Amino acid sequence: MSNYAESLRDLDSYISARVPIIGVRSIEQIRALRMVKQVAAAPRRAGLPFWIFTRATGLRDLRTNAPAQEDRSLTGAMDFAAQQFTSRAQATVIFVDPENLSDDNTASRHVAELARLADANSGSIVIVTDTPLWSGLERLGMSVTLDLPDAAEMYDVIVEFLRDHQGVVPIAWTGQDARRAAEFLVGVPEGTAINVLATLVAKGAVERSDVENLAEYKDKHFGALTGLERVKLRPAEAAVGGLTSLRAWLRRKHQFITADLRDSELRPPRGVLLVGVPGCGKSLSAKAIATEWRLPLYRLDLGAIMGQYFGQSENRLREALETADRLAPCVLWIDEIEKGLAGQNDSTGVSRRLIGQFLFWLQESRHRVFLVATSNDVRSLPPELLRKGRFDELFFVDLPDPEDRQEIIGMYYRRYVRQEPSPELVDKLVGLSEGFAGADIEAALHEVGEQVYLNGAESLRPEFVLDTFGNTMPLSRTNPEQIEEIRGWGRDRAVPAGRPAAAATAGARRPGRRVVVFGD
Amino acid sequence: MWVTGGHYQAWADFLERWAAGERLDPAGLPRLVRDDFAADSWARLADRITGALDDRMVAWSRTLSRELTAAPDEFAAARALNHARWALPPIRELAGAPGLTDELRARLTGMVDDAIRSVQRQIDEQVWRMRSSGVPRELVEARLRTVRENPLTAVTRGPHVTGDGWAAADPTATPKRRVILD
């Protein structure tokens, strides 16, 4: 059942029960009033009077829109309500967006008096507001919270809007496209969704490719928020290969990110934690997943979340995660998660609270936010973050094996040197790059690319390329203990992101598990 | 023949109690005909009516001023203005009582309405003075909106809802709830 249908059902029963004060909380006033009007329009309520007060229009009959009195003041409307409640039974007066009812003040206490007057004669006051009501008012009645439209409701909005414009402009969307569009627009008010759709119609045609662009409209709607930034993906980041196990796993999960799970108890995938040797493509994987799944990528910067005042960090993280939920479906990337959530040597308790908040969101959120967290030093992460049920899977990304290095060398050679390397050169480079991370290979070939740029392609000699590789000092040589420690941890506790050990190339020193570029 | 005794006395008694704040309906007062009174009696009666109206208006204006000054927020200020409006229809009812002559009725109603407009002007001027006396702009704007939304002069334009609904309420009554079933 959609949130609207659920709220409608609750409001309907509260009106029937003659609850003296009913709070309808929503940031979408028009949608909330549509719901109230729908309840009032029920045939069995034809004999019951309903009035509505707004500051702009004064007091009116809800059904006929006829003004009820000349006086347009709130106090005048309350006097009118008092008169109705004392002179007839089962009157209902709706107050739209009255001010200052969130705390204990004269306005709230006056409304409480009015509610008691209503209660004496089966009257009801409905308060449509976007702020919480004072607890003294809440105690006298019941509340309904109308959330933003969910995917099913948004789908209906889209279909109805497009149906109205059928024949006006060419509309290429299929039912499936409308479903995807609904997923993208979840988290924005109905009015904003209609504005977005109207903008698509205004450009002359609604094309299938417009579905992907809806994420950008959402960005504009939510604007800048501390700690959360949209990562623009370049076409080169779509060309990725390698990471056999991870890719196979992601292909399976992709079906659930897009699947209609309304009729099942299954939840959308939560995300992965990628741990491993620095420079082996963990961050690249986040970009590759977003590119491959055609979802927007947002980066959560835990450093920017940290505030200097008490509670500021927690508030910022809560806001950022709430916004991520509203931006769904999307990929949320947390790079080097240990730097924000390590917390072992934190005396302030902030990190512990952030971890708790983060774990709660990870476990409870039902939005299609796929989390890709990366970590170089997983030992400093709190154990509760690593236990089963938090992330869907924990993958270990190791140094590339010879076969993967061959693939990486070919890819970066073509990208930076703009030539096809000879097989002999590649063989020698594969040998020289033993212990290199993908980033080391990229850096070496970038340097070669600079040489070609300055002196021309004809100046490039294989010896220069070999020397560049020979002079590169990878982390595995400058800090072998650290690398071995990371590999030791990952091999025992995580799923290899690369090829499974049994399928690894014979003769390789370690089972192959490299990350190269995605892309089949 | 002059009939000053009975009618004069009925009006005089009514005016005395009414001026003290009693809720009385002037519709039942005897009809006054100028020619039935000696000139000085007529003048005295007119003065008594004017005096009673004046007493009520002065009391009304003091109450409004006290409530407005004590209002802790805009809602309380709006309620003070609204309470003031509740008190005006009974005063206008006496000024427009059916027992009065047309000439007297028009003069007294005009006098009361002028007094209401005068108080409204004073309130407006008071808000403008707030602006020049350094009160923060948003507070002045809020008060201005309150005053505009709750004009005292609304009662001069026709029937106005009063506090009868509240007056009829019994704060000790046990609620009567009747659920509506299909």
pLDDT of B26 higher than 90: yes
| Four-way CATH pick for A235-397: 3.40.50.300, 3.40.50.11440, 3.40.50.2000, 3.20.20.240 | 3.40.50.300
Of residues A73, A79, A99, nearest to B163 (C-beta): A79
Q: Which residue has the higher pLDDT, A430 or B172?
A: A430
pLDDT of residue A239: 57
pLDDT of residue A509: 40
Helix (H) or strand (E) holding A276: strand A271-276
Structure tokens that stand for A68 in this block: 């009820």
A343: left (phi > 0), else alpha (psi -120 to 50), else beta? Answer: left
Residues of A in contact with B68 (CB under 8 A): none
- Beta strands A330-334 and A50-54 are unpaired
Residues of A in contact with B150 (CB under 8 A): 73, 75-76
Helix (H) or strand (E) holding B46: helix B39-70
Instruction: Flag whether residue A49 sits within 8 Å of chain B, measured between CB atoms.
Output: no
Q: d(Cα B84, Cα B146) in Å, to the nearest integer?
A: 14
Q: d(Cα A417, Cα A449) in Å, to the nearest integer?
A: 5
Q: What residue segments make up the domains of chain B, in order of their start?
A: 4-154
Of residues A72, A119, A121, nearest to B149 (C-beta): A72
Q: In chain B, whose CA is at the least distance from the CA of A70?
A: B160
CA A30 remoteness from chain centre: 26
- C-alpha separations of A292 from A16, A332, A391 in Å: 51, 14, 20
> CA of A60, closest CA in chain B: separation in Å?
14
* pLDDT digits (tens), chain A, 520 positions: 778 999 999 999 999 999 999 999 999 999 999 999 999 999 999 999 999 999 888 999 999 999 998 888 899 999 999 999 999 989 999 999 998 899 999 999 999 999 999 998 899 999 999 999 999 999 999 999 999 898 889 999 999 999 999 888 999 999 989 998 998 888 888 998 999 999 999 999 999 989 888 877 777 766 555 578 888 777 666 555 566 778 788 888 888 877 777 777 788 888 999 888 888 778 888 888 888 888 888 998 887 777 656 677 888 888 888 888 888 888 999 988 887 776 555 666 777 788 888 888 888 888 889 999 988 877 777 778 777 778 888 888 888 888 888 888 988 899 898 888 999 999 999 999 988 888 889 899 999 999 889 988 888 888 899 999 998 888 888 888 877 888 777 777 778 777 665 444 433 343 333 333 343 3
Verify whether the Cβ–Cβ distance A85 to B165 is below 8 Å: yes
Determine the Cα angle at A303 with ends A297 and A304, to 5°.
Answer: 75
Q: What is the pLDDT of residues B29-77, one digit of tens each?
A: 999 998 888 999 999 999 999 999 999 999 999 999 999 999 999 999 9
pLDDT of residue B76: 94
Verify whether the Cβ–Cβ distance B177 to A117 is below 8 Å: no
A506: Cβ–Cβ under 8 A, 6 or more apart, which residues? Answer: none
Residues of B in contact with A86 (CB under 8 A): 164-166, 168-169
Radius of gyration of chain B (CA): 21
Q: d(Cα A438, Cα B66) in Å, to the nearest integer?
A: 80
pLDDT of residue A264: 77
Determine the Cα angle at A302 with ends A296 and A305, to 5°.
Answer: 105
Nearest to A405 by CA among A496, A491, A481, A474: A474
Which of A22, A59, A69, A71 to substitute to test the interface with B, most B CBs within 10 Å? A71
Instruction: Flag whether residue A103 sits within 8 Å of chain B, measured between CB atoms.
Output: no
> CA of A14, closest CA in chain B: separation in Å?
9
Verify whether the Cβ–Cβ distance A76 to B72 is below 8 Å: no
pLDDT of B2 higher than 50: no
- How many Cα neighbours within 13 Å face the side chain of A309? 3
pLDDT of residue A238: 58
* Phi, psi values for residue A228, rounded to 5°: -125, 125
Verify whether the Cβ–Cβ distance B150 to A73 is below 8 Å: yes
Say whether A235-397 and A3-145 share the same fold.
yes
Helix (H) or strand (E) holding A161: helix A151-164
Torsion of CA A72, A73, A75, A80, to 10 degrees: 0
CB contacts < 8 Å between A and B, how many? 108
Residues of A in contact with B171 (CB under 8 A): 116
Q: What residue segments make up the domains of chain A, in order of their start?
A: 3-145, 151-223, 235-397, 402-472
Residues of B in contact with A141 (CB under 8 A): none
Nearest to A466 by CA among A482, A484, A481, A451: A451
Verify whether the Cβ–Cβ distance A120 to B169 is below 8 Å: yes
- Beta strands A142-145 and A271-276 are unpaired
Which of B138, B166, B178 to substitute to test the interface with A, most A CBs within 10 Å? B166
Partner residues linked to A397 by β-bridges: A276
Of chain A, the end-to-end C-alpha distance in Å amounts to 40
Verify whether the Cβ–Cβ distance A75 to B82 is below 8 Å: yes
Residues of A in contact with B76 (CB under 8 A): 106
Residues of B in contact with A70 (CB under 8 A): 154, 157-158, 160
Verify whether the Cβ–Cβ distance B76 to A106 is below 8 Å: yes
> CA of A225, closest CA in chain B: separation in Å?
28
Of residues B149, B157, B176, nearest to A120 (C-beta): B176
Of residues A70, A73, A105, nearest to B78 (C-beta): A73
What is the sign, positive or negative, of the torsion defined by CA atoms of B21, B22, B23, B25?
negative
**pTM (2 decimals)?**
0.68
Q: What average pLDDT does range B97-114 have in this prediction? A: 96
Tokens 């590339």 -> residue: A400
Nearest to A196 by CA among A129, A149, A147: A149
Q: In chain A, whose CA is at the least distance from the CA of B150?
A: A73
Verify whether the Cβ–Cβ distance A106 to B165 is below 8 Å: no
**What class is the A3-145 domain?**
alpha beta
Residues of A in contact with B182 (CB under 8 A): 44
pLDDT of residue A343: 57
Interface of B with A (CB under 8 A): 71-76, 78-79, 81-82, 86, 149-150, 154, 157-158, 160-166, 168-171, 173-182
A312: Cβ–Cβ under 8 A, 6 or more apart, which residues? Answer: none
ipTM of model: 0.77
